[in-house]
Amino acid sequence: MKEIRNYDAFKYHDNPQYIKIEDGIYKKDDDYVTSLSFVQEPEFEEGINASDISQFPLEDILDRYFCFISDFYESINVESSTICYLEFAARELDDIRSLREIIGKHVYNKEVKHGEQTYVDLIIS
Tell me the C-alpha distance between 116 and 88, whole Å. 36
Cα(90)–Cα(77) distance, integer angstroms: 22
Annotated domain spans of the chain? 2-124
CA 20 – CA 4 distance, rounded (Å): 21
Q: How far is the C-alpha of 46 from the C-alpha of 17, rounded, in Å?
A: 33
The helix (run of H) or strand (run of E) holding residue 4 is strand 2-6
What per-residue confidence (pLDDT) applies to 76? 97
pLDDT, position 115: 87
Instruction: Note the pLDDT of residue 93.
Output: 98
pLDDT for 114:
84
Spatial separation of the C-alpha atoms in residues 77 and 99, rounded to whole Å: 21
Q: What is the distance between the alpha carbons of residues 38 and 14, in angstroms, rounded to a whole number? A: 25
Q: What is the dihedral of CA 71, 14, 22, 3, to 10 degrees?
A: 50
pLDDT along the chain (125 residues), means of 10: 98 96 98 98 94 96 98 96 98 98 97 89 95
